[in-house]
Amino acid sequence: MKFHKKKSLVFKTLNVLPSSLGYYLYHIIQKRSFKNISKNIIANKNSRSVIKHILNSVNFNLTNKSIIEIGSGWLPLMPYLLKAEELCKTIYTYDLNSHYNLENITRLNHYFKTEENISFKKRQSDKYNLPEFIEYYPNTNIIDTDLPKDISLVYSRFVLEHVKPSDILKMHQKFYSEISNDTYVLHLISPSDHRAYSDSSLSYYDFLKYSKKEWNSIQTKFDYHNRLRLPQYLSVFENAGFDVVYLNYDKTDASSDKYKKFKAIDLHEDYTGFSEEEILAGSINILLKKKKNN
Ligand SMILES: C[S@@+](CC[C@H](N)C(=O)[O-])C[C@H]1O[C@@H](n2cnc3c(N)ncnc32)[C@H](O)[C@@H]1O
């Protein structure tokens, strides 16, 4: 059985268990992927460079500014990097789930102390051992919570592709009404079929051959992907009242193996109305600001 099928089978099995047991087992499996901090830190440092490049392009720096992170994930790697390198003030981080745990964060603190020579001031008797500059809100959908005031940047890394399109719209409508005109919203989006990351037999666009119904019978709440293409994201941001200040995405060389695998796919009719560039747009990095005359 191919690796992505085995993985899907594991998620499907967890999905039919009572939710608390399913999540408990899912956590045990996922926790292992975050044992290798140095591997995860390399990937986050790459994203950090992308964020820095984008913010530099609009002459914006984060020193002493407060930030919202959508989708905390398993480890506060990006918040640690932003604090260490940009000296930002507070980072408020929200997650639908509760993935942080004491063991991994204690290991992360040790890693920063020994490998990066950085010790952050600790929060008093915090159950996760988090530093003072991080305010963690687990089990919180950012759509349903009051946002803190005085926020200069809202960002997400590899989150939006896992959010229902209707929630992406609600989220940005909320940002539109609650953040200041000067606040930037930055997203790093990975619109590819994530199963291809661990199974090279699959195209990064494989999931575009399925109808909505077929795809919903393959994915579960543990590996949900909305499959939105670039113009669909742009239209949601526009509808919520945002201008695109910066946009960059990967293009695919027609001589590459990636392109050949894409061409071998029989796209579902839901995707045939897009141009090839719109379909193939990968690693979408986008900076938004509220429209001036709205
Ligand atoms: C793939 S993880 C990425 C985590 C982290 N940003 C990173 O770069 O490793 C996506 C995370 O977003 C969270 N998430 C999805 N929708 C959300 C929402 N509406 N509000 C807050 N968190 C959300 C998920 O629970 C998950 O932990």
Task: Note the pLDDT tens digit of each residue in 162-173.
Answer: 999 999 999 999
Phi, psi torsion values for 156, nearest 5 degrees: -140, 145
What DSSP string describes 164-231? Answer: -HHHHHHHHHHHHHHS-TT-EEEEEE--S-GGGGS-TTS-TTGGGGS-HHHHHHH--TTS------HH
Asked whether residue 49 is assigned to any structural domain, the reply reads yes
Q: Nearest residue CA, atom 14 of ligand 1?
A: 71
- From the list 167, 261, 127, 124, the residue with the least C-alpha distance to 206 is 261
Query: How many angstroms does the Cα of residue 224 sit away from the middle of ligand 1?
Result: 11
pLDDT at position 147 is 96
Ligand 1, atom nearest to 162 Cα? 15
Q: Is the Cβ–Cβ distance between 6 and 223 less than 8 Å?
A: no
Give the pLDDT of the chain (294 residues) as one tens digit per residue. 677 777 788 788 878 777 887 787 777 777 766 677 888 999 999 999 999 999 999 999 999 999 999 999 999 999 999 999 988 999 999 999 999 999 999 999 999 999 999 999 999 999 999 999 999 999 999 999 999 999 999 999 999 999 999 999 999 999 999 999 999 999 999 999 999 998 889 999 999 999 999 999 999 888 899 999 999 999 999 999 999 999 999 999 999 999 999 999 999 999 999 999 999 999 999 999 999 865
Q: Is the CB of 41 under 6 A from ligand 1?
A: no
pLDDT at position 135 is 97
Q: Is the CB of 162 under 6 A from ligand 1?
A: yes
Q: Is the Cβ–Cβ distance between 74 and 97 less than 8 Å?
A: no
Q: Is the CB of 167 under 6 A from ligand 1?
A: yes
pTM: 0.93
- From the list 182, 185, 183, 150, the residue with the least C-alpha distance to 168 is 185
Domain with 83 in it: what CATH number?
3.40.50
Q: Is the CB of 71 under 6 A from ligand 1?
A: yes
DSSP 8-state assignment for residue 60? -
Asked whether residue 263 is assigned to any structural domain, the reply reads no
**Count of the separate structural domains present in the chain:** 1
The domain in which residue 41 lies consists of 36-157
d(CA 210, CA 192): 14
Q: Is the CB of 179 under 6 A from ligand 1?
A: no
Asked whether residue 15 is assigned to any structural domain, the reply reads no
Ligand 1, atom nearest to 94 Cα? 21
d(CA 115, CA 118): 8
Asked whether residue 275 is assigned to any structural domain, the reply reads no
Asked whether residue 128 is assigned to any structural domain, the reply reads yes
Asked whether residue 181 is assigned to any structural domain, the reply reads no
Q: Nearest residue CA, atom 21 of ligand 1?
A: 95
Query: How many angstroms does the Cα of residue 96 sit away from the middle of ligand 1?
Result: 7
**Three-state SS for 92?**
strand
The single residue listed with the structure tokens 């090279």 is 200
Q: Is the CB of 172 under 6 A from ligand 1?
A: no
CB atoms within 10 A of CB 175: 24
Asked whether residue 42 is assigned to any structural domain, the reply reads yes
Asked whether residue 89 is assigned to any structural domain, the reply reads yes
Query: How many angstroms does the Cα of residue 85 sit away from the middle of ligand 1?
Result: 23
The single residue listed with the structure tokens 């200069």 is 152
